[in-house]
Amino acid sequence: MFKGSNVALITPFKNDKLDDETYIKLIHFHIDNGTNGLVPAGTTGESPTLSHSEHERVIELCVKESKGKLPVFAGTGSNSTEEAISLTKHAEKIGANGALVVTPYYNKPTQEGLFQHYKAINDKCGIPIIIYNIPGRSVIDMSVETMARLYELKNIIGVKDATGDLNRVDQTLKKLGKDFLQLTGNDENALEFNKKGGEGAISVTANIAPKLCSEFQKVSNLKNVSANPEEAERLDQILQPLHEAMFVESNPSPVKYAAKILDLCDDTVRLPLVKVTDTTKDIIQKTLKAAKLV
């Protein structure tokens, strides 16, 4: 259901308010350009600074506008278990296909705390849940053993792995089996991730290069009959500078600036994030030209 190139959608703002019209255009841009799945209200969507009503609105618009053409896995995580349950129940109610739930940041729960957090969400909801393991932002790292315990629950189906550790793919595959969905959260390691048994990405770069990212995923997924290692290598070489440029400064400031160049949305971000520097602008402009996106 949720393999290939899945975009971690940016959230456009206008006068510091959610820009519904532009957001709807972004959704249709991805429907028309090969993206395989939509992830609204994640970190790239600036979920930490969305109000509860905005968070719900972003997911509702995504579900409504995609009209079943693309699966929607809504970002519903929180470091408050009750809040994560509430957001996930709302996503389920309005028709999202699943939820992406980040490990609780700041609280620093133990592995047992992580298990109980996800179990509580699982027990109160009825849609598929993808674990989002990103120790670089949340400080904690979910172990493969804890994921294996969670996989025994009815709704836990996979992981967005943003550890950057490619050995995790092998370890997870060995412990949980091939049916446990592994997606990378690191654009730059997508090729090697798929070679080891991963089945796609939740991508920042896909915001600005959906066709490239989708085609890359199609030919790099070894379980796909269209897999073409040589073409995958060629596309990866085109994409690598883009991946790097999207993280020259804190995400999503660079990708929003790139989106502005491509006339997709404004580059406004909410504090404490700020717009990128002139030096970074120059890097992004050159990278977009090199990839023939402008």
Known catalytic residues are 132, 160
94 Cβ neighbours under 8 A, 6+ residues apart: 56, 59, 60, 63
The residue assigned the tokens 């699943």 is 98
Cα 264 to Cα 257: distance, rounded to the nearest angstrom: 10
Q: Please give the DSSP secondary-structure letter assigned to residue 72.
A: B
Query: 73 pairs with which residues across the strands?
Result: 98
Distance between CA atoms of residues 143 and 133, nearest Å: 9
Instruction: Tell me how far apart the alpha carbons of residues 231 and 227 are, in angstroms, rounded to a whole number.
Output: 9
Q: Give the orientation angle of helix 229-245 with respect to helix 278-290, to 10 degrees.
A: 160
Q: Residue 139 and residue 2: Cα distance in Å, rounded? A: 26
